[in-house]
Structure 1
Amino acid sequence: METLLLDPDDVTASTEMGEVIDAVESAFGAYGRGDTQMPAKSYIDLAQYNGDFRSMPAYIHADDWEAAGIKWVNSHADNPDNHDLPTVMGTMIYSDPETAFPLALLDGTGLTRLRTGAAAAVATRYLAPEDATTLGLVGAGIQADTQLEAISQVRDIQEVLVSDVRDEAIQAFKEAFGDEFDVRGTSIAETARADIVSTTTPVREPIVHEAGENTHINAMGADAPGKHEIADEILTTATIVIDDYEQCTHSGEINVPWEAGLLDDSDIHGELGDIVAGDVTGRTSDGVTVFDSTGLAIQDVAAAHVIYEHASEHGIGTEFALVGTDT
């Protein structure tokens, strides 16, 4: 028995975004029902290298499939300048829950972008107005591409408003998606009035200070204490849905106003998993909704499940003997 090696091109070739979204939705539902195991993300701090390692393991028992795996990911801020390497790199080990055999070793960097976009799409499916047609993207980096690809699977997106401090990033985004969507670069203020908004920046001072009357916001950028994209005046009046209580209150979009005492348990509508499982309602009335996404290991495992199954079926990737089978 051999392990399947899937490099970045293999992961891309094995990705059906609609299937990834459905799998991530199933994973959230399993999480809401208590049919997952997901230990807290662990960190190895390497201050001498201005970086860290993070391990993210999970097991999912969904309705008609089960999966297990672990993502080993880093953040080394000096890599681009000093070593010509990406700041963030990830590796995913996807395993058979019954035998523990490592079925696949996958590029985790592209997988992370996919599952993050899929999570926003799941939240959008339950929280955005059904007739939403405009998408605002605050930040025009690589994650913005995946946000558009995923969200356009669950809503009929026609117009895309993009804001970024880099004009060249907006221009590159327009060139990439202008033939399929009506793409327009504009201010953050106008971008944030779209029907659906996704924020994907690393800022520590809020840059979104207003939203449309019924806007749904996917707050995707905050993943560490102190990061904060959405102004408190929006968060304190919006319907807030989170992916995980411990992670969001510690390092999600709500972490700063939470620490300041501006938000507490009464301000959280529920976790997305509880909404998918049917225990908490999604959008039922007008108003601003916010999904606070910190990224969960179950999303990585769900995406890896889809990618592995597609790659195996279509002969994508390279098989190699990672584990000896002698007993």
Structure 2
Amino acid sequence: METLLLNRADVAENARMPELIAALEEAFAAYEHGDVQMPAKSYIDLPKYNGDFRSMPAYMDAGDWDAAGIKWVNVHTDNPEKFDLPTVLGTMIYSDPTNALPLAIMDGTTLTRKRTGAAAAVATDHLAVADATSLGIVGAGVQSYTQLEAISEVRDIDTVVVSDVREEAVAKFIDRFEAEFDVRAGSIEEAASCDVLSTVTPVESPIVPADAVGEHTHVNAMGADAPGKHELDDDLLAGATIVIDDYEQCTHSGEINVPWSAGLLDDDDVYAELGEIVTDAVAGRGEAGGPEGVTVFDSTGLAIQDVAAAHVVYEHANEKGNGYPFELVDTRL
């Protein structure tokens, strides 16, 4: 019985975005139905290195399949400049829950990027206007690429406005997508006026003003994943319909964590968890009683998303013979 080692290329090849989006929707539904075990994300803070480690274990039962796994991941803000490494590095261990055999050890960095984009797509599908054609992106780092790749699967995006203080990053993003979309550089305000806005920055002071966002814009707030991080103006949050991925994580380290700690937001300001909308327990946009104005999805990233994405990757890689099989576990008695 062998374990499959999957590198970046293997994960990228087998993380098919339409299937990831469907798998993550299943994960949010399983979470809402109580068919998961997901201990709280644990942090090891490393101020000496301007970074941290996070441990994210989970088990989920999606009905037709079940799986377990754990991701060991970090956020080191100085990595690109100092070490020519990604800000986020991750390793995913994907296990068979029936016997605990590690089925695969895979690149969790690519997996994280892909599943983060897929999570935004699930939220966008339920919360953005049906005829959305424009996407604004604030932050042109690696996460921005999968935001566009995923969201364009659920909406007919033709216009993309990308904003970043790093001109080189913007130029690289445009070069990647200009053959497929009408993509251009713009200000934060121009990006925020689009039908859909995704923010993927590590800032701790809000950069998206309330008065810049369109009347019916859906915002995917993807950048805040630790206490103190905060991308959206407090007035924007106060006036929006807020949907979260997980109550404990979002109030601790999501986009709402700073105004929540200051007492500017409370339970009455949270419309629903995304799982409630996915399972039709709460109405999404376009449904009777659903939100009509600005909506915000506060995404912290859940371990069940990684397990669901790893399931998609492993199944395809195993079928195609990708990766490097090796005997991690000695099965001799």
Q: 1:317 maps to which residue?
A: 323
> Are the counterparts in 2 of residues 127 and 216 from structure 1 also a CA contact under 8 Å?
yes
Which one of 298, 309, 312 corresponds to residue 304 of structure 2? 298
Counterpart residue type for residue 224 of structure 2: A
Deviates more, 1:90-99 or 1:79-88: 79-88
2:182 matched to 1:176? no
Deviates more, 1:49-58 or 1:245-254: 49-58
> Are the counterparts in 1 of residues 220 and 297 from structure 2 also a CA contact under 8 Å?
yes
Deviates more, 1:278-287 or 1:173-182: 278-287
Inter-partner Cα distance in structure 1 for 2:100 and 2:243 = 34
Inter-partner Cα distance in structure 1 for 2:284 and 2:46 = 41
Q: How does 1:249-264 map to 2 (within 5 A)?
A: 249-264=251-266
Shift of 1:45: 3.2
Counterpart residue type for residue 272 of structure 1: L
Q: 1:120 maps to which residue?
A: 120
Which one of 239, 247, 250 corresponds to residue 248 of structure 1? 250
Shift of 1:285: 4.2
Long gaps (5+) in structure 2: none
Q: 1:143 maps to which residue?
A: 143
Deviations 1:31-54 (CA, angstroms, capped at 9, x unpaired): 011100000111233444444321
Shift of 1:253: 0.5
Inter-partner Cα distance in structure 1 for 2:257 and 2:76 = 23
Q: 2:239 maps to which residue?
A: 237
Inter-partner Cα distance in structure 1 for 2:279 and 2:102 = 30
Could you say if the C-alpha distance between residues 113 and 30 of structure 1 is closer, same or farther in structure 2, counting changes exceeding 3 Å? same
Could you say if the C-alpha distance between residues 18 and 268 of structure 1 is closer, same or farther in structure 2, counting changes exceeding 3 Å? same
Could you say if the C-alpha distance between residues 299 and 318 of structure 1 is closer, same or farther in structure 2, counting changes exceeding 3 Å? same
Q: 1:38 maps to which residue?
A: 38
2:155 matched to 1:155? yes
Could you say if the C-alpha distance between residues 145 and 79 of structure 1 is closer, same or farther in structure 2, counting changes exceeding 3 Å? closer
Q: 2:189 maps to which residue?
A: 189
Inter-partner Cα distance in structure 1 for 2:162 and 2:23 = 28
Counterpart residue type for residue 33 of structure 1: H
Counterpart residue type for residue 180 of structure 1: E
> Are the counterparts in 2 of residues 205 and 229 from structure 1 also a CA contact under 8 Å?
yes
2:216 matched to 1:214? yes
Q: How does 1:41-52 map to 2 (within 5 A)?
A: 41-52=41-52
Deviations 1:270-305 (CA, angstroms, capped at 9, x unpaired): 100111122111113420000000010000000000
Inter-partner Cα distance in structure 1 for 2:205 and 2:325 = 47
Q: 1:75 maps to which residue?
A: 75
Kindly tell me the number of residue pairs found equivalent between the two proteins: 327
Inter-partner Cα distance in structure 1 for 2:80 and 2:175 = 25
> Are the counterparts in 2 of residues 26 and 63 from structure 1 also a CA contact under 8 Å?
no
Shift of 1:232: 0.9
Could you say if the C-alpha distance between residues 82 and 162 of structure 1 is closer, same or farther in structure 2, counting changes exceeding 3 Å? closer
Deviations 1:198-228 (CA, angstroms, capped at 9, x unpaired): 0001111111112101000000001111111
Long gaps (5+) in structure 1: none
Q: How does 1:267-278 map to 2 (within 5 A)?
A: 267-278=269-280
Counterpart residue type for residue 183 of structure 2: V
> Are the counterparts in 1 of residues 241 and 291 from structure 2 also a CA contact under 8 Å?
no
Could you say if the C-alpha distance between residues 196 and 51 of structure 1 is closer, same or farther in structure 2, counting changes exceeding 3 Å? closer
State the identity %.
Answer: 69
Moved over 6 A (4+): none
Q: 1:93 maps to which residue?
A: 93
Shift of 1:87: 3.6
Inter-partner Cα distance in structure 2 for 1:28 and 1:2 = 30
> Are the counterparts in 2 of residues 228 and 253 from structure 1 also a CA contact under 8 Å?
yes
Q: 2:283 maps to which residue?
A: 281
Secondary structure, counterpart of 1:21 in structure 2? helix
Deviations 1:95-125 (CA, angstroms, capped at 9, x unpaired): 0011110000000000000110000000001
Secondary structure, counterpart of 2:91 in structure 1? strand
Counterpart residue type for residue 262 of structure 1: L
Secondary structure, counterpart of 1:270 in structure 2? strand
Secondary structure, counterpart of 1:189 in structure 2? helix
Inter-partner Cα distance in structure 1 for 2:196 and 2:50 = 35
Could you say if the C-alpha distance between residues 279 and 214 of structure 1 is closer, same or farther in structure 2, counting changes exceeding 3 Å? same
Counterpart residue type for residue 153 of structure 1: E
Shift of 1:166: 1.2
